[in-house]
Amino acid sequence: MTNDNKSVRNHIDDVVNSSLNNKPPSIAQRNLSNPTAPLYKIVLTGGPCGGKTTSLARLSSFLRERGFEVMTVPEAFSLLVSNGMSLEYFLVDGFEPVVQGSVMDVQRHLEDAFEKVLRSTGKPGVLLCDRGLMDGAAYCSREQWDTVLASRDVSSICDIREGRYHAVFHLVTAAEGAEAYYTLENNLVRTETPEVARKLDKLTREAWVGHPRLHVLDNSTDFEGKLQRMVATTAKLVGLPSTLSRVTTKYLLRQAPDISLFPADVQFRIFEVEKVYLYSKSATSNYAEEYSFIRKRQQGKGEVYGQTTVKLTHDGQEIEVKRIISRREYTSLFNTRDLKRHVVRQTRISFLYHMQSFNIHFYREPEKVCDLCILHCQFDASGGAAAATLPPFLDIDRQLTSDDNAQYGAFRISVIDEN
């Protein structure tokens, strides 16, 4: 052995011995060092040729470069087809619920397994899901979907929609607004015509209506602009600096909406919401104000719980950090609520109109604002449109401005007047 080879071998031995003497922390040590490391679960969905594959790659790189552990859950349907499930099986009567049930089983187990691995790192993580459990509703009838859920002991739609994912990005198919770029060449398991793609895109959007952070990314900009909107929205979700121009504009309604006047093609969901403010934290050198609240959303018998921490910077920016919590956590935090504030209760109506997400907040409590109705519109100013397209079937009084927060902001409404 030459001296050069000895030198290389000695270097390798040094590296191996060093790694043995400095073992990485165990899973238990990782979790113990940071047991509350945040983990965000994000669904990317949409009709065929919406840009999911490219979007997953872009988001993964963006988040990893900023210190997040990232894993991507593959699409369950594609896994089944690419491993032998023939599309000819769909010619068999009653096969759709069998397929969608199997897709749900595979998807759920993959997500749970990937999440377990991510949490074991003890680091902030993001789980990117190529479609989510609600997507199956777009590919079978309502009766068939109910059968799928009932056979899997799903207690409510809430559990597999907003109770499971922090955000949903719906990437609108290129067949809707970017027809020249519609192609299926990059996905061998897809065979949809542009007409079918538009239909499936609409059904998929409707399946996710009711999720509080459903973001519809249309084709009003070029594809790069679409990606940038998605990245900016993700940055804001996980607490990173964001150039997002998406803002929530609010409108005062003269009266509660009459849902019988909603167009037949506008799907909506109705929720009961309980919002409870916790004690505010003292201002720090980094933030002008910091507070948090917990929320319970109920649809039928289903309930989901969340906590939001709001931080206001000295230059006027608002940073929100959201997490999904359990019923036990909610009950525990409820018992430590700020007793100088009312519990705010609302009926909310969620719907999509012209690719925009709307929520009507109909206040029930406190009594001083009973019957107050405010329309919230998620509007992306970078999307190419000059203004939001407001629903003509609502009786809108006027747009609310920052000057109205003292009267119509939920944070202010919750204060118990000393008089």
Look up the CATH number of domain 37-237.
3.40.50.300
Q: Which pLDDT band holds residue 20 (cuts at 50, 70, 90)? A: very low
Q: Which tens digit of pLDDT belongs to each residue from 164-196?
A: 999 999 999 999 988 888 876 666 556 778 999
Q: Give me the percent of the chain exceeding a pLDDT of 90.
A: 52
Q: What is the mean pLDDT of residues 69-75?
A: 95
- Fold classification of 246-413 is Hypothetical Protein Pfu-838710-001 (2.40.320)
SS (H, E, C) the chain: CCHHHHHHHHHHHHHHHHHHHCCCCCHHHHHHHCCCCCEEEEEEECCCCCCHHHHHHHHHHHHHCCCCEEEEECCHHHHHHHCCCCHHHHHCCCHHHHHHHHHHHHHHHHHHHHHHHHHHCCCCEEEEEECCHHHHHHHCCHHHHHHHHHCCCCCCHHHHCCCCCCEEEEECCCCCCCHHHCCCCCCCCCCCCHHHHHHHHHHHHHHHCCCCCEEEECCCCCHHHHHHHHHHHHHHHCCCCCCCCEEEEEEEECCCCCHHHCCCCCCEEEEEEEEEEECCECCCCCEEEEEEEEEEEEECCEEEEEEEEEEEECCCCEEEEEEEECHHHHHHHHCCECCCECCEEEEEEEEEECCEEEEEEEEEECHHHCCCEEEEEEEEHHHCCCCCCCCCCCCEEEEECHHHHHHHCHHHHCECCCC
pLDDT tens track for 390-418: 999 999 999 998 888 888 989 889 999 86
Query: Looking at the chain, which residues constitute the CATH 2.40.320.10 domain(s)?
Result: 246-413
Which pTM was predicted?
Answer: 0.76
